[in-house]
Structure 1
Amino acid sequence: MMLKKLLTFADRSAITISTLCVVHCLLSPIILIALPTLTSFAIFDDEHFHIWLLYAVVPISVFAIAFGYVHQRSLSVLVTALIGIIILVLAAVLGHDVFGETGEVIASVIGAALIGFGHIKNLSLRKSNYQPYQATS
């Protein structure tokens, strides 16, 4: 029961962080145009913000999705979340240099959406069919 609560918390946390990433990517340019004095705040520095999100979302996602796969054996959830993680990592690491500003935003939004979708599906499967992991002897 404790594991189920921890995994649920991890899935919900990853969904929240992924949503923050999407909101940041889509609203930052608008906010910075409307209020240019906010550029001095570190949170609006795209590269640092993406790295901070990676430090949060990648370990949480790997933990929750891996345990979800062990319990539910849903390959589609595993693949969806992993593709999302890979896209998000590539967008954060390669960023403007490879994708350009618009491409980085699009890649980040797609990666975060895939991660969020994977966690939503993982959470849904856990709620509908949770069976505690039992090691075989």
Structure 2
Amino acid sequence: MKNIQTTLDKAAVGVSFLCVAHCLLIPVVIVIIPTVVSAMLSDEVFHKVLILFVLPTSILALIMGWQKHKAWSVILLGAIGLLIITLAALYGHDIVGEAGEKWATIIGSIVIALSHYKNQKLCRNE
């Protein structure tokens, strides 16, 4: 059980940083290969698909960790991050524009990564 939770925490951190990399690298890629990017890496689609991986991975890892350490602060931090990236993916572009959506996604991803880091750290201490 411990190995699964640790693996999920690491996967969730990786996926969170994939969001950050996407937001920071896509503008560069758009300049370099505009036709490929516009056809295959639409921000709207990418963010919605990524949410399908981030949500279950993060929720499962955080719950498994909470069962060991009972630290609600980790769950709350993770929930805040997940809420931020979900709202950014679904409504960000319409509400805060493209730049606001990217910043919300970056901030939410960092918050999620921090929650998984804390989750992992507390689980190691148990």
Whether the TM-score (by the shorter chain) exceeds 0.5 is: yes
- Aligned pair partner of 1:23 in 21, 24, 37: 21
Q: 1:35 deviation in Å?
A: 2.6
Q: Does 1:8 align with 2:6?
A: yes
Equivalent AA in structure 2 for residue 67 of structure 1: M
> What RMSD over aligned residues (CA atoms) do the two structures have, in Å?
1.2
Higher helix proportion (structure 1 or 2): 2
Equivalent AA in structure 2 for residue 108 of structure 1: T
Q: Does 1:60 align with 2:57?
A: yes
Q: Provide runs of 4+ in structure 1 moved above 4 Å.
A: none
1:95-121 C-alpha deviation (Å, 9 max, x unpaired): 211110010000000111111110111
Contact in 1 for aligned 2:29/2:37 (Cα 8 Å)? no
- Aligned pair partner of 1:47 in 36, 44, 48: 44
Q: TM-score, normalised by structure 1?
A: 0.87
Q: Give the total of aligned pairs.
A: 126
Q: Secondary structure at the match of 2:14?
A: helix
Radius of gyration: which is bigger? 1
Q: 1:62 deviation in Å?
A: 0.8
Equivalent AA in structure 1 for residue 45 of structure 2: H
Q: TM-score, normalised by structure 2?
A: 0.94
Hey, what does 1:91 align to over in structure 2? 88
